[in-house]
Amino acid sequence: EAAIRLSDGDLNQHVEAISSDETEDLAKAFNRMSESLRKMVDDLSVERNKLFTVLDTMADGVIVLQTLFYLRLGEGIIELINPAAEDLLALKPGAALGARFIETVSNPDLQTLVFDALATNKPQNGEFELTQPRHYLSAIATPLSRDNQNGVLITLHDLTRIRQVDATRRQFVSNVSHEIRSPLASIKAMTETLEEGAIEEVKKA
């Protein structure tokens, strides 16, 4: 009965030997196994909680797609998605889990990236723009196994701030260049005039 409950997931099983024969050794072995399983599950649970804490708080988006045999190449079921990815792709929290990727994320560039990663079985990266809301994203699609049976990992990095800073820098350089160009042109004209003999005329006068 304890073994059946253990196989059903109840790891808090402990049996007492009813005699001092070989059943006592069997009971001790069972109790050690139950304790080892409970410790292993507890450790895995702690690591799982750490992983989800990292995923929930990181700024980069993370999506894990599970590829299924009945789906076309390049498609998959969203098995994991963190809040950053939901925010970047303007998805409602929790709504994308279990949904088909191609029906949830309508961006063709990102879909192509996933397709190429599964078709070549190699990581693919690219940059693309989302219009609603407007974001510039860098994406990497990485197959999770050699035979593509375990899906693909997608990581998204928001380039919007970097693009804005770069655009501001270019505008600043353009404005400064324009403002400096006129005074430099005047200085150049006066210098050429002096080189052509105007300085000698001033001395004679």
What is the three-class DSSP state of 111? helix
* Pairing mode, strands 134-143 and 61-66: unpaired
* pLDDT of amino acid 201: 59
Tally Cβ neighbours within 10 Å of residue 178. Answer: 9
Distance CA 45, CA 190 (A): 79
Identify the segments of the chain with pLDDT beneath 70.
19-20, 70-71, 73-74, 132-133, 146-149, 162-167, 172-173, 175-176, 178-179, 181, 194, 197-205
Q: What are phi and psi of 179, to 5 degrees?
A: -70, -35
* pLDDT of amino acid 78: 92
* pLDDT of amino acid 46: 81
* pLDDT of amino acid 167: 64
Distance of CA 155 to the CA centre of its chain: 2
* pLDDT of amino acid 53: 76
Distance CA 133, CA 156 (A): 15
122 DSSP 8-state letter? S
Q: Are 56 and 82 in contact (CB under 8 A)?
A: yes
* pLDDT of amino acid 197: 66
Tens-place pLDDT, residues 94-132 = 889 889 988 888 888 888 998 898 888 899 999 888 876
Say if residue 83 is preceded by a cis peptide, omega within 30 of 0.
Answer: no
* pLDDT of amino acid 142: 92
* pLDDT of amino acid 32: 86
